[in-house]
Amino acid sequence: MARLILLGAPGAGKGTQAKALATLVQIPHISTGDILREAVAHQTALGVKAKSYMEQGNLVPDDLVIALIRERLSQPDAQTGWILDGFPRNESQAAFLDELLEEMDQVYRYAVNLEVPDDVLVQRMLGRGRADDTEEVIRRRLQVYHHQTAPLINFYQVRHKLVSIDGNVTPEAVLDKLKSLL
């Protein structure tokens, strides 16, 4: 069963890669960022609560994101595999995910860390022009990444699940490496 967690800073290419890989192996690409942006656009209860955190480059509170991912992973299309992009984002989300998957009798193969230097990340994000990609918000998101998300590298390493990939090469080269992990 193909189940991969994509780690990496904002701008590392998680979304692009997850999308390509999911199409290739016909499993869902589950992006908490995409689901949240959609909720904001439709002004759902979740979107209304999440909006200000996202606009500031902060993490949306764990209880909201955890409920969202629990719901999404229980859908029929997620039973045969998935690529997770943007979740987990901190240690409590990662611990929750391990518990949830145990409960669901599912295991993931790897957590893949896409390594890209900070200056390259900033340039990439400035170039993509998303609403939360202003320079100030980008800096905040990088700070949040280093403080809250980067510790997950160690979390998965001690569980012997971590694979690191150089993300500062062409998208095709990254995709080739990812394909070899499935």
The amino acid sitting at 2 is A
In terms of DSSP H, where are the helices of the chain? 14-25, 32-41, 45-56, 62-73, 91-103, 118-128, 135-144, 151-158, 171-179
Distance CA 141, CA 59 (A): 8
Quick check: 53 binds ligand AMP (CB under 6 A)?
yes
Per CB under 6 A, the list member of 3, 4, 5, 10 interacting with ligand AMP is 10
Quick check: 97 binds ligand AMP (CB under 6 A)?
no
- From 18-26, 72-80, 86-94, 165-173, span contacting ligand AMP (CB under 6 A): 86-94
Q: Which two tokens stand for residue 4?
A: 């991969």
User: Which residue is associated with the tokens 């998680």?
Assistant: 14
- From 22-30, 83-91, 109-117, 156-164, span contacting ligand AMP (CB under 6 A): 83-91
Shortest CB 93 distance to ligand AMP, Å: 6
Quick check: 73 binds ligand AMP (CB under 6 A)?
no
Quick check: 139 binds ligand AMP (CB under 6 A)?
no
